[in-house]
Amino acid sequence: DTEVTQTPKHLVMGMTNKKSLKCEQHMGHRAMYWYKQKAKKPPELMFVYSYEKLSINESVPSRFSPECPNSSLLNLHLHALQPEDSALYLCASSLGLRETQYFGPGTRLLVL
């Protein structure tokens, strides 16, 4: 089973709202990732967690705040986003940092 689940599927938020994206996997993977994908562009890495610790932050603005409460769960807290932050947000997981990453279906975010 290589399933990564993400909720919600779609999210519309205003620039003053606070919302959270959720990602879950039950494959025993110890590395989890957040990517952002704009239309007709490749996925771009945002954050990497390894054993529940932040391993890589690709200079992402502080209005995006990741959290890894346990080895199965990854959250992305959103606050004061801009319209240009509208994108597909993808979560991925892998057994370890060297292993193949498996992606969830993504959350389509629209910031008004």
Q: With binding defined as CB under 8 A, does residue 31 bind another protein?
A: yes
- Residue 10, H or E segment: strand 10-13
- State yes or no: residue 7 binds another protein (CB under 8 A): no
> For residue 93, what is the DSSP state?
E
Q: Residue 73's Cα: distance from chain center in Å?
A: 11
The residue among 55 and 82 lying less far from another protein, judged by its C-beta, is 55
Token output for 110: 């629209």
Answer for which of 85, 104, 109, 111 binds another protein (CB under 8 A) is 104
Q: Which of 92, 84, 106, 112 is nearest to 10 (CA)?
A: 106
Token readout for 104 is 């969830």
Q: Count of residues binding another protein (CB under 8 A)?
A: 27
Work out which of 7, 55, 57, 82 binds another protein, going by CB under 8 A: 55
User: Do 91 and 73 form a contact (C-beta atoms < 8 A)?
Assistant: no
Report the residue from 60, 80, 95, 97 that binds another protein according to the rule CB under 8 A. 97
Residues near another protein (CB under 8 A) are 2, 4, 6, 31, 33, 41-45, 48, 50, 55-56, 90, 92, 94, 97-98, 100-106, 108
